[in-house]
A and B are shown apart, each in its own frame.
Chain A
Amino acid sequence: MSLGSIPPKYKVSIDREQCMDCGRCIENCSYGTFRREGDKILIQSRKCTACLRCVSMCPRDAISLTENPVDYRSHPLWTREAREDIIKQARSGKIILAGMGNASNLPSIFDRLLLDACQVTNPSIDPLREPMELRTYIGKKPSKLEFKKTEAGDVELATKLSPNLKLETPIMIGHMSYGAISLNAHLSMAKAAKETGTFMGTGEGGLHRKLYPYQGNMIVQVASGRFGVNVDYLERGAAIEIKIGQGAKPGIGGHLPGEKVSAEVSRTRMIPLGSDAISPAPHHDIYSIEDLVQLVRSLKEATEWKKPVFVKIAAVHNVAAIAAGIARSSADAVVIDGSRGGTGAAPKVFRDHVGIPIEGAIASVDQKLREQGTRNEVSIIASGGMRNSADLAKSIALGADAVYIGTAALISMGCRVCGNCYRGLCPWGIATQRQDLVDRLDPEQGAMQVSNLIHAWTLELSELMGAAGINSIESMRGNRDRLRGYMLDEGILEVLDVKNAGA
């Protein structure tokens, strides 16, 4: 082999003094990093993905894992990554696949936005003593109210409200399909959504019958492959989401490998057992905005105009104009997925290079809709790399109504962001269909962890709002006056419509 191998990414070692030879590492590693030979546990570091399952399960804390120290000749342009990608492609002649979100080195805008708090001139509000309102309605809202006089002379409301989803917290769980992730992962998140008064997306994988008890908290997705879609599915959802694009891979479709299409996945998706499930890049009935309008209306007709319909798009350069077009349809919410959004598998070049960060996308969409007087026509749901309650608070202050979390929810169930979701061997029982692995995730336990996370962020958001003297989420939304930029350039500050720190 003229190219030779590229160096292993990680180096795993066992402290033999500490090791009690229990073999849990061998059992737990689905990638085959560990094996027993005679009375010794041997390690093949090259197989390691840094999922940290072995480290977490070792009763003696005997396992160490580091990034394998290999020094290429240092070069500012020809980084290790650049060289290794070329070697891989020279060997395969193929597109490089990658999991999870954008791994490029670009700075996060969220980290350079700072939140505000009250001092002296206005009192901060203690959420433990005073009401703090996070209730959020997602859906179309009137831009003004009309009243009429009844025969008796009373004034009554003439405006009829469109159906809205009522959230007890502005945190929703984003669309990750059954197939890409396991049934137990879906069950954990669905129970958590119900318990915390919020909603969860099904992804493009249909709705497994075991999730029917939670359907009141599920948003069913209609994506370009139309997997699992029939009228029963649409009617079960609390809302319907049309997925046009995804932040991790704008402009391209999806691919669920046949190995992940088990009997249950096949039944739920309504596709043959073991076949690859390929979602085309565009919807083959949507080639323009007016086609989208028709699909929105068709879905509404099919469900008797009782359910909100969302449209999800990736944050691309022209996101504001696209969202403005969506706001002119009958859609009730636009979901914007930023370039740091996660994925089970995406071509690395898309994941790291296509689309714009969610911060700029929220700011420009909110601005455009206000300019056009259509901000009340749609809610804005932001997603793509929401790591903590600060990202959440900043998203809302920039103008979002709510956020979707994806990767964060997976991490709360055990995921360590190793990025090998597409291989179907997830040792945490999340991104896999192998029953022995799936069984590792207990839905009751998983649900508790996901709800804990949502509760914790909700509490932190309440504290942040209280400190800013705000007791209702409406007054946080679009309140860019309570943000300041730090080390952001003037161009970005202008897009965000945020002042500099100290200004």
Chain B
Amino acid sequence: MCGIIGFIDKTKSTMDGSKIKAALSLMNERGSGDGAGYVAYGIYPDYADCYALHVFFDNMVEPKTKVDEILHRWGTVVHQEEIPTVEQPGLKRVHTPWRYFFKPFDDMIGGKVGSEKDIIKHIVMEVNSSINGALIFSSGKNMGVFKASGWPEEVADFYRIEDYEGYIWLAHNRYPTNSPGWWGGAHPFNLLDWSVVHNGEITSYGTNQRYVEGYGYKCTLLTDTEVVAYLFDLLGRQHELPTETVVKALAPPFWDEIDRMPPAEEELHRAIRLTYGSALMNGPFAIVVASNEGIVGFTDRIKLRPLVVGENGDKLYISSEESAMRVLDPEVKNVRTPRAGEPIIGRFNA
């Protein structure tokens, strides 16, 4: 089941987290109190040029020492602190959420690590696959994921989500079947700037996993959604495909439709399917992905999960349910349900 919601203000005017908490809580019918999470972009303007690494530590001794060691090897920690939290009666604190503001050394770029972002990707993969008791769950610039096991209100209050001001928000209300109770299994999933909230189950996970693992990504989070973040990072960042093309690779038109397209378009879509067949995502899903450029929402090719879209001036809303959107903005207009596989894209105004 699961409920998702996404918001972007194209003028980069920010909104605090209180409304998104209210909107997400409205969809509690879609969750089970086993996981909720938020991601906001634009929240760390003072450290905008640093990668904000959010980490769950099981304890502050061995895992943290090891993470510190890796970070010092690859760059400078400009600032670090415990993420401020407030104990909640219904939420059992199993990790200590921590954040580093981190700058990689330029001179570490080389070989397979071709950019700053490759360094971050490498650090995330190494920590998450080899250090027991440490999990980097957010690693982009000027953005951050806040998630835990619990109901949306509890998780929001735990992180004092109303203290953050963002121009993009995604939120997720979880009904887990795969890995309940594990904070790492809550959404959003993130790598670098990419954050994903997902309602559904990816039946092509094994294929997608084998595909991204061929490019050095390691699927360690015991749930299918993380692969979506890696697919966006691979296709969108490394292969530099436009967002529309990424969505066409992940949820392509059927061959019947492609066969009927004009020749140039037919060739393009055939090329996408031939090249990125292993990236095609099957099974029921509705997904919203955010990056520092905007948000995109889409569903599987036969729309087995709900997704509605609404607008109000420069604000775009994407959600599992219209009612949640109306909590965020009672004035929301042009509410519609996109077609299966149709990308709904919100970008900042130029």
Please name the residue on chain B nearest to A118 by beta carbon: B203
Determine the distance from Cα of A157 to Cα of B294 in the docked complex, in whole angstroms.
Answer: 24
Shortest CB–CB separation between residue B267 and chain A, in angstroms?
Answer: 7
Please name the residue on chain A nearest to B281 by beta carbon: A475
Is B264 on the interface with A (CB-CB < 8 A)? Answer: yes
- Report whether A482 and B206 are in contact in the complex, using a CB–CB cutoff of 8 Å: yes
Residue in A118, A147, A471, A474 whose beta carbon sits within 8 Å of that of B277 in the complex: A474
Determine the distance from Cα of A142 to Cα of B278 in the docked complex, in whole angstroms.
Answer: 12
Shortest CB–CB separation between residue A122 and chain B, in angstroms?
Answer: 4
- The verdict on A474 contacting B210 (CB below 8 Å), with A133-B254, A469-B283 known, is no
* Residues of A contacting B239 in the complex (Cβ-Cβ under 8 angstroms): 144-145
Q: Which residues of B contact A (CB under 8 A)?
A: 177, 200-201, 203-207, 209-211, 213-215, 239, 241-242, 245, 254-256, 264, 267-268, 270-278, 280-284, 301-302, 304
Residue in A145, A469, A474, A480 whose beta carbon sits within 8 Å of that of B241 in the complex: A145
Residue in B214, B274, B277, B282 whose beta carbon sits within 8 Å of that of A371 in the complex: B214
Determine the distance from Cα of A478 to Cα of B256 in the docked complex, in whole angstroms.
Answer: 24
- The verdict on A123 contacting B207 (CB below 8 Å), with A161-B271, A376-B275 known, is no
Most chain A beta carbons < 10 A, residue from B205, B271, B274, B301 = B274
Query: 8 Å CB contacts to B: which residues of A119-157?
Result: 121-123, 125, 130-131, 133, 135, 137, 141-145, 147, 155-157
Q: Mark A459-503, 1 if CB is under 8 A from B, else 0.
A: 000000000111110111111111000000000000000000000
- Report whether A481 and B275 are in contact in the complex, using a CB–CB cutoff of 8 Å: no
- The verdict on A468 contacting B203 (CB below 8 Å), with A123-B304, A145-B241 known, is yes
Determine the distance from Cα of A156 to Cα of B263 in the docked complex, in whole angstroms.
Answer: 12
Residue in B203, B209, B254, B267 whose beta carbon sits within 8 Å of that of A469 in the complex: B203
- Report whether A142 and B275 are in contact in the complex, using a CB–CB cutoff of 8 Å: yes
- Report whether A142 and B271 are in contact in the complex, using a CB–CB cutoff of 8 Å: yes
Shortest CB–CB separation between residue A290 and chain B, in angstroms?
Answer: 26
* Residues of B contacting A468 in the complex (Cβ-Cβ under 8 angstroms): 203
- Report whether A474 and B206 are in contact in the complex, using a CB–CB cutoff of 8 Å: no
- The verdict on A472 contacting B280 (CB below 8 Å), with A144-B275, A161-B270, A480-B210 known, is yes
Is A375 on the interface with B (CB-CB < 8 A)? Answer: yes
Shortest CB–CB separation between residue B328 and chain A, in angstroms?
Answer: 28
Residue in B214, B215, B264, B274 whose beta carbon sits within 8 Å of that of A137 in the complex: B274
Is A330 on the interface with B (CB-CB < 8 A)? Answer: no
- Report whether B284 and A122 are in contact in the complex, using a CB–CB cutoff of 8 Å: yes
- Report whether A141 and B203 are in contact in the complex, using a CB–CB cutoff of 8 Å: no
Determine the main DSSP class of A at the interface with B.
Answer: loop
- Total of A-B residue pairs, C-beta within 8 Å: 117
27 interchain pairs, CB-CB under 8 A: A122-B203, A123-B284, A133-B255, A142-B274, A144-B275, A145-B276, A157-B268, A161-B270, A164-B274, A366-B210, A373-B214, A376-B275, A469-B282, A470-B282, A471-B282, A471-B302, A472-B280, A472-B301, A474-B204, A474-B207, A474-B278, A474-B280, A475-B203, A475-B281, A481-B207, A481-B209, A482-B206
Is A159 on the interface with B (CB-CB < 8 A)? Answer: yes
- Report whether A470 and B271 are in contact in the complex, using a CB–CB cutoff of 8 Å: no
- Report whether B283 and A141 are in contact in the complex, using a CB–CB cutoff of 8 Å: no
Residue in A131, A133, A375 whose beta carbon sits within 8 Å of that of B214 in the complex: A375
- Report whether A478 and B271 are in contact in the complex, using a CB–CB cutoff of 8 Å: no
Most chain A beta carbons < 10 A, residue from B177, B206, B275 = B206
Please name the residue on chain A nearest to B264 by beta carbon: A156
Q: Which residues of A contact B (CB under 8 A)?
A: 118, 121-123, 125, 130-131, 133, 135, 137, 141-145, 147, 155-157, 159, 161, 164, 366, 370-371, 373, 375-376, 397, 399, 468-472, 474-482
Determine the distance from Cα of A343 to Cα of B302 in the docked complex, in whole angstroms.
Answer: 44
Determine the distance from Cα of A474 to Cα of B278 in the docked complex, in whole angstroms.
Answer: 6
- Report whether A161 and B274 are in contact in the complex, using a CB–CB cutoff of 8 Å: yes
Residue in B204, B271, B304 whose beta carbon sits within 8 Å of that of A475 in the complex: B204
Please name the residue on chain A nearest to B205 by beta carbon: A481
Please give me the 6 A-B residue pairs with the lowest Cβ-Cβ distance, nearest first. Answer: A481-B206, A475-B204, A474-B277, A475-B282, A479-B206, A469-B203
- The verdict on A478 contacting B207 (CB below 8 Å), with A122-B200, A133-B255, A469-B283 known, is yes
* Residues of B contacting A155 in the complex (Cβ-Cβ under 8 angstroms): 242
Determine the distance from Cα of A479 to Cα of B301 in the docked complex, in whole angstroms.
Answer: 19
* Residues of A contacting B255 in the complex (Cβ-Cβ under 8 angstroms): 133, 135
Determine the distance from Cα of A120 to Cα of B213 in the docked complex, in whole angstroms.
Answer: 29
- The verdict on A141 contacting B275 (CB below 8 Å), with A122-B201, A125-B302, A470-B203 known, is yes
Residue in B214, B254, B275 whose beta carbon sits within 8 Å of that of A145 in the complex: B275
* Residues of A contacting B274 in the complex (Cβ-Cβ under 8 angstroms): 137, 141-142, 161, 164
- Report whether B214 and A475 are in contact in the complex, using a CB–CB cutoff of 8 Å: no
Residue in B200, B206, B268, B270 whose beta carbon sits within 8 Å of that of A478 in the complex: B206
- Report whether B204 and A470 are in contact in the complex, using a CB–CB cutoff of 8 Å: yes
Determine the distance from Cα of A468 to Cα of B283 in the docked complex, in whole angstroms.
Answer: 9
Given A142-B275, A370-B214, 16 further pairs, Cβ under 8 A: A122-B284, A131-B256, A144-B239, A145-B275, A164-B274, A468-B203, A469-B201, A469-B203, A469-B283, A470-B203, A470-B283, A474-B278, A475-B280, A476-B207, A479-B206, A481-B206
* Residues of A contacting B264 in the complex (Cβ-Cβ under 8 angstroms): 156-157
* Residues of B contacting A125 in the complex (Cβ-Cβ under 8 angstroms): 302
- Report whether B272 and A477 are in contact in the complex, using a CB–CB cutoff of 8 Å: no
- Report whether A478 and B283 are in contact in the complex, using a CB–CB cutoff of 8 Å: no
Determine the distance from Cα of A481 to Cα of B241 in the docked complex, in whole angstroms.
Answer: 28
* Residues of B contacting A373 in the complex (Cβ-Cβ under 8 angstroms): 214-215
Determine the distance from Cα of A370 to Cα of B241 in the docked complex, in whole angstroms.
Answer: 21
Determine the distance from Cα of A211 to Cα of B109 in the docked complex, in whole angstroms.
Answer: 59
Determine the distance from Cα of A225 to Cα of B267 in the docked complex, in whole angstroms.
Answer: 39
* Residues of B contacting A481 in the complex (Cβ-Cβ under 8 angstroms): 205-207, 209
Residue in A118, A131, A399, A478 whose beta carbon sits within 8 Å of that of B254 in the complex: A131
- Report whether B283 and A145 are in contact in the complex, using a CB–CB cutoff of 8 Å: no
* Residues of B contacting A397 in the complex (Cβ-Cβ under 8 angstroms): 206
* Residues of A contacting B273 in the complex (Cβ-Cβ under 8 angstroms): 474
Please name the residue on chain B nearest to A135 by beta carbon: B255
Shortest CB–CB separation between residue A93 and chain B, in angstroms?
Answer: 51
* Residues of B contacting A469 in the complex (Cβ-Cβ under 8 angstroms): 201, 203, 282-284
* Residues of B contacting A156 in the complex (Cβ-Cβ under 8 angstroms): 264, 268
Shortest CB–CB separation between residue B257 and chain A, in angstroms?
Answer: 9
Please name the residue on chain A nearest to B242 by beta carbon: A155
Determine the distance from Cα of A217 to Cα of B242 in the docked complex, in whole angstroms.
Answer: 37
- Report whether A477 and B271 are in contact in the complex, using a CB–CB cutoff of 8 Å: no
Please name the residue on chain A nearest to B235 by beta carbon: A144
Most chain A beta carbons < 10 A, residue from B200, B267, B275, B281 = B275
Shortest CB–CB separation between residue A373 and chain B, in angstroms?
Answer: 6
* Residues of B contacting A479 in the complex (Cβ-Cβ under 8 angstroms): 204-207, 210
Determine the distance from Cα of A471 to Cα of B253 in the docked complex, in whole angstroms.
Answer: 12
Determine the distance from Cα of A118 to Cα of B256 in the docked complex, in whole angstroms.
Answer: 26
- Report whether A477 and B207 are in contact in the complex, using a CB–CB cutoff of 8 Å: yes
